[in-house]
Amino acid sequence: MTNNDILRRIRYIFDYNDKQMIEIFALVEIEVSREQICNWLKAEGDPALEECEDYVLANFLNGLIIKHRGKKEGEQPRRETSLTNNAILMKLKIALNLKADEILGIVKLADFEISKHELSALFRSSKHRHHRECKDQFLRYFLKGLQVKYRG
């Protein structure tokens, strides 16, 4: 999945307008224009489509965490320059305050099943011997399940 696709899906799931997207970026002190947002959200193949870089999506997801959970006291997390599907999944889990059983229920809404052990492997450190890489397919099912849950 591309970062643009993920950003598009999150916007649709939570029905954010351009102003709300700009406000989410502002929560992490990133200034973006309406034009930038529109260019990131353009359809694949559109000549005006701008690639949404990892750091852009990371900042948006950090803003989403602050929007849903509030700003963390003390030192703020460092700004990532690269993202993996595991990190994206983790940030969405944190933002929505989801527990393992809730995530299992969400992917089940998208007609996908995964065991609790397989799910926990996705959230382990990449150095852990039981760490498992989150593939695009699982992230797609998770986002589809969120869409069913929040948009019906």
Cβ 130 vs Cβ 121: under 8 Å:
yes
pLDDT at 73: 81
The structure's pTM equals 0.92
Domain ranges of the chain: 3-69, 85-151
Question: How does pLDDT run across 21-71, given as a tens digit for each residue?
Answer: 999 999 999 999 999 999 999 999 999 999 999 999 999 999 999 999 988
Task: Please tell me the number of Cα atoms within 13 Å of 88 on its side-chain side.
Answer: 26
Question: How does pLDDT run across 72-119, given as a tens digit for each residue?
Answer: 787 766 778 899 999 999 999 999 999 999 999 999 999 999 999 999
Show the tokens assigned to 95: 């933002």
Instruction: For residues 116-130, give the mean pLDDT.
Output: 93
